[in-house]
Amino acid sequence: MRQNKLGASDLVVGEIGLGCMSLGTDEQKATALLHEALDLGVTLLDTADLYDEGRNEEIVGKAIKGRRSDVVLATKVGNRRVPGKDGWVWDASKAYIMEAIKDSLRRLQTDYIDLYQLHGGTLDDPIDETIEAFEQLKREGVIRQYGISSIRPNVIREYVKRSHIVSLMSQYSILDRRPEEEVLPLLAEHGISAIVRGPVASGALAHGREDKAQKGYLGIEGDEIVALRHHLEQLCGEGRSLTQLAIRYALAHPATGAVIPGASSSEQLRHNVEAGNLPPLTDQEVALIRSLRPANTYTQHR
């Protein structure tokens, strides 16, 4: 699998990572899948304190005991639980970040996090204070690097301008090309890596899942996606599935450092990882895929 640096940092990751949100809460099954991922050469594991109310971090932490050095461990912060109440509230304050990381470290059973990410962000946040929290944690050696997870260009611009983020996690796929308009060029200009989630568009571009496509995606009608799938399948050729084509499309942009498709089965995991062993798309293939998009493909930030 190809290895990429995240931004100008010392974090090197395989270009196919694993988004851990889809692992579920069956510890035995999730642990087996995580071990298989590491055995297949996956190095980037992405979780968050939000997933399953912290249970996801606990499962990941147990699974990587004894293999911590094999993993670039990424988690997220910013969603705070209020005791006695359902749900979460947004809190990007320095005080909360400095406390929340202690809980993440405990659940993950580690004394450092490779990539700590703000799980969202708004222009109403105390952005300088948020950045100072991450910078202090980095100075203290509690985190190696930091980034943000966002789809909001106005927020992304502020962190690119005011901080030392090495990565941006954002949704990006053939059906959701919003980052191509401004965000990915901005990252490329500043040497920041995109970590792409959702490359198969919630299954709408997954191999063998026309049923998912028929449900539509981000306002695109199901019949349009089905028609697009048929065109894309003709580009797959031998040895490359629709899922793998979609993953390779997300990796084709120069700003992309890694893609983190989710997997809930060994078959899905192996299929995703195999995309990392396939040749990159050619410029001609990328151009052709872009020309095949539905007329109302989600390209504008709304």
Question: What are the residue numbers of the active site?
Answer: 51
Instruction: List the one residue out of 35, 17, 21, 43 whose CA is nearest residue 275.
Output: 17
Directed axis angle between helix 55-63 and helix 27-39, to 10°? 50
Q: Is 8 left (phi over 0), alpha (psi -120 to 50) or beta?
A: alpha
Name 139's Cβ contacts closer than 8 Å, sequence gap at least 6: none
Tokens at residue 76, please? 């997220």
3-state helix, strand, coil split of the chain in percent (to 5) is 45, 20, 35
Buried b (16+ CB within 10 A) or exposed e, 132-166: ebbeebeeeebbbbbbbbbbbbebbebbbeebbbb
In this structure, the number of other CB atoms found within 10 A of the CB of residue 51 comes to: 22
